[in-house]
Amino acid sequence: MSDHELRVSKIARGTVIDHIRGGQALNVLAILGIDGAGGETVSVGMNIPSDRMGKKDIVKVEDRELSQDEVDVLSLIAPEATINIVREYEVVEKQYLDRPERVIGVLSCPNHECITNADEPVATEFEVLDDGVRCAYCETILREDLASHIAAE
């Protein structure tokens, strides 16, 4: 394949999540709640050679823009990713992620005894660690599978 061809075609409209660390694309899809059953048109490239990163993954979701909560959770597992909003084939906005120090109201705590799971609503709060997140209330640590702990709207 020549350098002038793209492995994954350009899209007309939607979101391109680029520069995802190699191997993380399926986790990105899980965070976006994409399993194919929703009917979205999605292209995924894995372990694509990249000058900057060695190898990268890329996810292109057509006709969809991301919510701030989705971007917040993505920043935990793919802090080096770039989010490109595409309209009429052009990148109209490029968002660089930043690993937050804490995430509030985005993830749910897996500890059923945690105050954030009690009847009185308390917003969840997690501190971001190098290799996971820690509940600010009960100190439960979540390392893997952040995607299945995204708080329900």
Positions touching Zn ion (CB under 5 A) are 109, 111, 114, 135, 137-138, 140
Contact 115, 71 (CB under 8 A): no
Residue from 84, 108, 116, 124 in contact with ligand CTP (CB under 6 A): 84
Q: Cβ 16 to ligand CTP, closest distance in Å? A: 4
What b/e readout covers 122-132, taking b as 16+ CB neighbours within 10 angstroms?
A: eebbbebeeee
Residue 66 binding ligand CTP, by CB under 6 A = no
Show contacts with ligand CTP in window 1-40 (CB under 6 A).
6, 10-11, 16, 18
CB of 33 to ligand CTP, least distance (A): 21
C-beta nearest to ligand CTP: residue: 10
Q: Minimum distance between the CB of residue 4 and ligand CTP, rounded to whole angstroms? A: 12
| Residues touching ligand CTP, count (CB under 6 A) | 12
Q: Is 73 in a helix, a strand, or coil? A: helix
- Residue 74 to residue 29: CA distance in whole angstroms: 10
56-78 exposure pattern, b = at least 16 Cβ within 10 A, e = fewer: bbbbbbeebebeebbbbbbbbbb
